Amino acid sequence: LAKTTQPISMDSYEGQEVNITCSHNNIATNDYITWYQQFPSQGPRFIIQGYKTKVTNEVASLFIPADRKSSTLSLPRVSLSDTAVYYCLVGEGFTGGGNKLTFGTGTQLKVEL
C-alpha cells in the first residue's frame, strides 16, 4: 500500500476553514484516497473518499490534483467538535469489498474558541 505523509498536528479556531494535505507520491493506478476521523475513545469513522478531482459531501471536501500524488481534506467552518485525529489512507479498490487499511500517524486537529 502507498505510504502517506501528513502533518502531525494542526491548530485552528471555530468558524475557520481547515485544510489538511496528505502526500502519497507512490500512489498506484488502482488506489483510492480515503480519509477517516477518530475521536478519543472511539474507532475511526469514514469521512470521504475520492479517486481524482474533487469530491464533496455533507462533512468535507476532498481535492485531488491531476497527478494524484497528494490530496487535501477541507473542513468548512470547523467547530470544537471537529477536534479529532484525521487519517489519510490510500488503498486499492476492488470488487467484493474488503481491504487491509494502513493507518499512518494521522493529523491531530485541535479547534479552539
The closest alpha carbon to 71, from 49, 92, 91, belongs to 49
Using the rule CB under 8 A, give the single segment among 12-20, 21-29, 75-83, 92-100 that binds another protein.
Answer: 92-100
Shortest distance, position 82 Cβ to another protein, whole Å:
18
Question: 58 phi and psi, to 5 degrees?
Answer: -70, -15
- Per the listing, cell 494521522 goes with 106
Count of CB atoms situated within 10 Å of the CB of 21: 16
CB of 89 to another protein, least distance (A): 7
39-63 burial, b at 16+ Cβ within 10 Å, e below that, comes to: eeeeebeebbbbeeeebeeeebbbb
Site string for another protein, 45-74 (x = CB under 8 A): xx--x-x-----------------------
Binding piece for another protein, criterion CB under 8 A, among 6-14, 15-23, 35-43, 73-81: 35-43
Q: Which stretch binds another protein (CB under 8 A): 16-24, 40-48, 58-66, 71-79?
A: 40-48
Residues contributing to the site for another protein (CB under 8 A) = 32, 34, 41-46, 49, 51, 89, 91-105
